[in-house]
């Protein structure tokens, strides 16, 4: 494993499969009466969140505590950042406190990379989402969920997603989740198709390792997984489509459209969902929707990333070949 996790594009196939396999082992911890491992005992991890978050922040905190790490939660609101403190000064403060790893979420694309390469702090940096750039642990948990559903929990060990057809639908322009998934799924051998209104397709998308389509109905029958994206109005500074009803009619997933998918295909969403716009309640609450699984799998993936980056002892990891009594 590399020292930092900044972008899904930085992961090789072997890196990604190692993380997925380690997460499978970590997932077994959730079935134990005591859901803790001593792997990071005595290590301090700081969650440095400059942007609002619920799922990602809680997921990282749960992962850190299950590995027995000491956790510092830093929120920009109410801190010296609101008084004008720079990222450099904040990083140097954490360095002085002796933190062993930093999980950073920032509204500015490139902030985690800057923190990792600046020399301000001597600790592994994990990107928990930066602007419209990358969200690598989200892509990993999505791939983990797909592998479990499409290949199998035990059969998937050591396997990638070669040959699987994944469709990502919605606001690709503002989505770091879409960018990260395209990079990681391509690395894992999957075939990715992006479906979006022309106004929500990024400039330069032709260089991405994926196909582009503007017709959702034509892609559904050949999809193994369909990932719906939220329309990120908070990042929009213009009107990208006429009305919500028009968007939902052309790019929303309802029961009739889900019926066009193969029987084994699953529906995914990184959350939070806007029911009635990109996804209907009927689809969101169906057995084929993996949203709740993705949240649970996020803890396992983040445990695996922290364990591998911070060099936990092999003896501390759960053994996938032994069942908890």
| Pairwise CA distance, residues 146 & 1, whole Å | 22
Give 132-190 pLDDT, tens digit per residue: 899 999 999 999 999 999 999 888 899 999 999 999 999 898 889 999 999 999 999 99
Upper half-sphere CA count for residue 259 (Cβ side, 13 Å): 4
Q: Is the pLDDT of residue 211 over 60?
A: yes
Q: Label the pairing between strands 165-169 and 70-75.
A: unpaired
Which residues are bridge partners to 101 per DSSP? 45
Give 160-171 pLDDT, tens digit per residue: 999 999 999 998
Go through the chain and tell me how many residues it has: 325
- At 74, the pLDDT band (50, 70, 90 cuts) reads confident
Q: Is the pLDDT of residue 237 over 70?
A: no
Peptide bond into 56 cis (omega under 30): no
């Amino acid at each position: 494993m590399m020292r930092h996790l900044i972008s899904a594009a930085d992961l090789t196939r072997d890196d990604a499969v190692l993380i997925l396999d380690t997460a499978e082992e970590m997932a077994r911890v959730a079935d134990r009466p005591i859901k803790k491992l001593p792997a990071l005992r005595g290590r301090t991890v700081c969650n440095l969140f400059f942007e609002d978050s619920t799922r990602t922040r809680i997921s990282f905190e749960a992962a850190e505590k299950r590995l027995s790490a000491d956790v510092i939660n830093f929120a920009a609101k109410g801190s010296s950042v609101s008084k004008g403190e720079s990222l450099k000064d904040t990083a140097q403060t954490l360095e002085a406190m002796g933190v062993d790893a930093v999980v950073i979420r920032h509204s500015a694309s490139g902030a985690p990379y800057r923190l990792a390469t600046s020399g301000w702090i001597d600790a592994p940096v994990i990107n928990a989402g930066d602007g419209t750039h990358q969200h690598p642990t989200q892509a990993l948990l999505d791939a983990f969920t797909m592998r479990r559903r499409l290949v199998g929990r035990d059969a998937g060990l050591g396997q990638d997603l070669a040959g699987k057809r994944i469709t990502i639908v919605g606001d690709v322009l503002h989505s770091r989740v879409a960018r990260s998934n395209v990079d990681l799924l391509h690395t894992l051998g999957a075939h990715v198709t992006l479906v979006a209104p022309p106004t929500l397709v990024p400039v330069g998308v032709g260089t991405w390792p994926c196909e582009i389509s503007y017709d959702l109905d034509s892609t559904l029958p050949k999809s193994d997984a369909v990932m719906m994206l939220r329309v990120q109005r908070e990042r929009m500074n213009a009107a990208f489509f006429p009305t919500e009803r028009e968007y939902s009619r052309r790019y929303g997933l309802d029961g009739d459209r889900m019926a066009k998918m193969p029987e084994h295909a699953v529906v995914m969403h990184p959350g939070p969902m806007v029911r009635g716009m990109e996804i209907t309640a009927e689809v969101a609450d169906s057995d084929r929707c993996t949203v709740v699984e993705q949240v649970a799998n996020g803890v396992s993936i983040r445990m695996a990333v922290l364990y591998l980056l911070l060099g936990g002892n092999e003896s501390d990891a759960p053994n996938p070949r032994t069942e908890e009594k």
